[in-house]
């Protein structure tokens, strides 16, 4: 049984839902502060004010708990990439909104620290990197591709390779910011600066993909 199936199986009661939410919140705090290797079920249980047995009964392992935290982060990021946005917004508006959210997340101090810790841990245990990539970036990329496919089917844009186009969009938005942040550069953009950067990236992407 997967970690997601375990959680779904036990969320039939409000009390269970509250406990799971507390555990996931505590796990996020621990993983983002200390990385995977530096976090423990004991510390997570203490922060969530539940027993270690309770954590294990719902998630079975620290790996499963880590996967669920990454999935939750992914769901949060994906809120700007759901297909329903295209019912009320143009593709350009949707992509600008997504790009601004991407920049905000990219420059979040907590996320930067987590990325650095995680990158260091991958050398010790490559599986940690795979857990993160499979449940985070690859899911987000798939969601973006699904969004672009909807627009393509409506005849708004022309795309030969959805995955390559989604990757191009992310690269245009991020540029080299993630590289500089990873190596200690302090970068902060104001809301107008993020909006302007997002517009430039989206307009460049649209110019390539317009029919």
Where do the structural domains in the chain lie, given as residue ranges?
3-65, 79-209
% of the chain exceeding 90 in pLDDT: 44
Alpha-carbon distance 188 to 34, whole Å?
Answer: 24
List phi, psi (to 5°) of 93. Answer: -65, -40
pLDDT at 86: 65
Alpha-carbon distance 87 to 204, whole Å?
Answer: 23
List phi, psi (to 5°) of 61. Answer: -155, 165
Give residue 6's pLDDT band: very low, low, confident or very high (50, 70, 90): low
pLDDT at 84: 64
pLDDT at 42: 96
The interaxial angle of helices 62-78 and 14-34, nearest 10 deg, is 90
Fold of 3-65: Arc Repressor Mutant, subunit A (1.10.10)
Rounded to an integer, the average pLDDT of 31-47 is 92
User: 3-state DSSP call for residue 157?
Assistant: strand
pLDDT at 89: 83
Q: Which of 12-16, 70-74, 111-115, 205-209 has the lowest mean pLDDT?
A: 12-16
pLDDT at 200: 97
User: 3-state DSSP call for residue 27?
Assistant: helix
Please tell me which residue, 82 or 58, carries the higher pLDDT value.
Answer: 58
Q: Which of 59-68, 81-90, 157-166 has the lowest mean pLDDT?
A: 81-90
pTM, 2 dp: 0.78
The rounded mean pLDDT for the chain is 86
Q: Which among 138, 137, 131, 133 has a CA at the least distance from the CA of 63?
A: 131
Give residue 9's pLDDT band: very low, low, confident or very high (50, 70, 90): low
Rounded to an integer, the average pLDDT of 81-91 is 71
Q: Which among 171, 179, 71 has a CA at the least distance from the CA of 115?
A: 179
pLDDT at 135: 82
Q: What architecture does CATH give domain 79-209?
A: Orthogonal Bundle (1.10)
Where are the alpha helices (H) located in 35-136, listed in sequence order?
41-48, 52-59, 62-78, 85-88, 91-106, 109-124, 126-135
Please tell me which residue, 4 or 45, carries the higher pLDDT value.
Answer: 45
The answer to whether the beta carbons of residues 158 and 90 sit under 8 Å apart is: no
CA-to-CA dists, residue 68 to 4, 8, 182, angstroms: 7, 12, 24
% of the chain exceeding 70 in pLDDT: 88
């Amino acid at each position: 049984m997967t970690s997601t199936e375990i959680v779904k199986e036990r969320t039939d009661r409000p009390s269970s839902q509250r406990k799971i939410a507390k555990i996931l919140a505590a796990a996020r705090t621990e993983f983002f502060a200390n990385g995977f290797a530096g976090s423990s079920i004991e510390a997570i249980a203490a922060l969530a004010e539940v027993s270690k047995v309770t954590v294990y009964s719902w998630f079975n392992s620290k790996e499963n708990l880590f996967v669920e935290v990454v999935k939750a982060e992914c769901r949060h990021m994906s809120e700007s990439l759901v297909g329903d946005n295209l019912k009320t917004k143009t593709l350009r508006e949707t992509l600008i909104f997504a790009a601004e959210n991407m920049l905000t997340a990219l420059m979040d101090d907590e996320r930067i620290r987590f990325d650095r810790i995680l990158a260091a841990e991958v050398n010790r245990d490559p599986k940690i990197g795979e857990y993160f990539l499979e449940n985070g970036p690859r899911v987000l990329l798939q969601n973006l591709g699904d969004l672009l496919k909807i627009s393509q089917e409506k005849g708004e844009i022309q795309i030969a390779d959805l995955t390559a186009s989604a990757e191009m969009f992310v690269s245009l938005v991020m540029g080299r910011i993630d590289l500089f942040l990873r190596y200690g550069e302090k970068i902060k953009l104001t809301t107008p600066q993020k909006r302007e950067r997002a517009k430039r990236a989206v307009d460049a992407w649209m110019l390539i993909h317009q029919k």
